[in-house]
Structure 1
Amino acid sequence: MASLRYPAPESYRTSHGLTVHLWRHEQPVNNPVLLVHGFASNTLYNWVKTGWLDPLAGTGRSVIAVDLPGHGASRDVDAGAAGLRAADVLADLAEVATDTGGAVDLHGYSMGSRLSWEFAHRYPQLVSSLVMGGSPVSDEVYQVDADQARSWAAGGSEPADEATRKFITVASALPDQHLPHVVEFRLALAHDTYRPEEMVPAVPTLVVAGSKDGIAAGAEKLAELVQKTGQPAQFVEIPGRNHVNVLTARDYKSAVTGFLAR
């Protein structure tokens, strides 16, 4: 298969505002892989620029990636105005998986892993395996002052709350961000508390985190939760990598492609 390029040959918008990017493998021998990016990122920066497309296509799979509402090619979508919740995003992911043949190998990163965990729990028939990258184990890392976050995103003063200030700094890091829409999507997800122990997916799972990734501290617990369902699960730590640069690590890609080849 030729080297994959961005933009994807095919793209479309779902009913709740996800933009789907699709690279079809000419002769697929396995399920497609579905990629869900992290907070304040997008397909281009989370997966393309970090070198994920060709290794995944090399496993004999079509590659599907989504831009979440307010992010990337979906930057025009205001989750707050639309009243979006996590269930809406999961329903659209279910449609994407179904439209591409059914079961997918699901790979979420950071905030995308939170969504992927819940998706695999709600729709196990659509998930043949799950990769959780840079995964928080609770909502604690996203506890922010919503009013201060919205004010700063709209051009107001810097948040007095330290956690909110860090949150907004991350949100504004990439070029061409629609900062208010990025913030509104994360605040929309905050309406649903993330307690992974209450929604454990019973599918084969790989959990990956950098050894210096404070956001994913304790991520090995996720693998332990899946193991208790009777499904195989493993945790891989990438030495010396943090929440940002772990995505470029060869060891991360090797762990995932090896897992997919199981």
Structure 2
Amino acid sequence: MAKFTTWDGLQLNYRVWGGDRLPVVLQHGIVADTNANWMSTGVVAALESAGHKVISLDARGHGRSEKPRDPSRYTWQAMASDVRALFDELGLDQVALVGYSMGAIISLQVADQDERITRLAIGGIGSGVIDCGGIDERVIAADDIVAAMRGDGTETKRLASIFRLLADAVGADHDAIAAVATGLNEAPIRGVAHLAMPALVLAGASDPFAAEPDRLAAAFPDARLAVVPGDHLTAITDPGFAAALVEFLR
């Protein structure tokens, strides 16, 4: 594990695994971290076995990275700038970028701004990117996640409660996650039709947050779709998820 100082002075944690093939940078979902999203699910091991240099960033407010509780520190642009700052820190000039859920939205914004992305894989999101410009607010709203982090069970939608369960399981800072959810309140994506790099859309067959992934894949100039068994939390643990990712990067 290592830390670096990002563009606005926060200390962010990242991990690197060896390999000499195309570097793969991983960005996890909200509440999760490097271990929960990528290591414990077998994704890191699969990529490392395929010979890739694997790099995973703990997003601000998550994992071992610094966790301010001011929502203004958590915008999509701030998160995307952190990923680009990591590229600079490590001297990366060509990168495959992989994001899941929140990390997928961040990855789309990075790909919109950074020519170093040669391949892009996004999971846990679907037609909300096209219809809502980011997270599918028809399924979940930021206020639902905030209520879940504060333990307002009577006001928390069932889908938001899974993020509280995950937060408790990984030891996340509830107040920091509430600030993240509050801060990420803009629609950051201006479409994907201009993203020319090869792309992969990964989705769980029963993931409500990744509805109509075929529509999302079809919106890219060059994308393929892989649907695996599972919901938002379990799809990434299916062996087919890592296998599809490795095949895409081959």
| TM-score bin (small chain) | 0.7 to 0.9
| Larger Rg over CA atoms | 1
Asked if 1:170 corresponds to 2:169, the answer is no
Which segments of 5 or more consecutive residues in structure 2 lack a partner in the other structure? 129-134
CA contact (8 A) 1:117 1:200 kept: no
Aligned to 1:122: 113
Compared with structure 1, are the counterparts of its residues 70 and 168 closer, same or farther at alpha carbon in structure 2 (3 Å cutoff)?
farther
The structure 2 residue matched to 1:12, chosen from 4, 23, 26, is 4
What aligned pairs does 1:64-103 form with structure 2 within 5 A after superposition? 64-74=55-65, 76-80=67-71, 83-100=73-90, 101-103=92-94
Compared with structure 1, are the counterparts of its residues 237 and 153 closer, same or farther at alpha carbon in structure 2 (3 Å cutoff)?
closer
Q: CA deviation at 1:56?
A: 0.9
Q: CA deviation at 1:106?
A: 0.4
How high is the sequence identity, in percent, across the aligned residues? 24
Q: CA–CA distance in 2 between the matches of 1:234 and 1:91?
A: 27
TM-score (norm 2): 0.84
Q: CA–CA distance in 2 between the matches of 1:54 and 1:145?
A: 35
Could you say what secondary structure the match of 1:181 adopts?
helix
> Runs of 4+ in structure 1 displaced over 6 angstroms?
none
Q: For this pair of structures, how many residues does the alignment match? A: 238
Root mean square deviation of aligned Cα: 2.4
Aligned to 1:189: 184
The residue identity in structure 1 corresponding to 2:12 is: T
What aligned pairs does 1:190-205 form with structure 2 within 5 A after superposition? 190=185, 192-195=186-189, 197=191, 200-205=194-199
The residue identity in structure 2 corresponding to 1:149 is: V
Asked if 1:256 corresponds to 2:248, the answer is no
Q: CA–CA distance in 2 between the matches of 1:226 and 1:208?
A: 14
Compared with structure 1, are the counterparts of its residues 168 and 12 closer, same or farther at alpha carbon in structure 2 (3 Å cutoff)?
farther
Q: Which moved more, 1:53-62 or 1:42-51?
A: 53-62
Q: CA deviation at 1:83?
A: 3.3
Q: CA deviation at 1:199?
A: 7.2
Aligned to 2:219: 225
After superposition, what is the alpha-carbon deviation per residue over 1:149-198, rounded to whole angstroms, capped at 9, x for unaligned? 36x6456x4353x53x64255134223111110121122111x2144526
Q: CA deviation at 1:142?
A: 3.4
Q: CA–CA distance in 2 between the matches of 1:83 and 1:168?
A: 24
The residue identity in structure 1 corresponding to 2:113 is: R
Asked if 1:40 corresponds to 2:37, the answer is no
The residue identity in structure 2 corresponding to 1:250 is: P
CA contact (8 A) 1:75 1:181 kept: no
The residue identity in structure 1 corresponding to 2:140 is: Y
Q: CA deviation at 1:98?
A: 2.8
TM-score (norm 1): 0.81
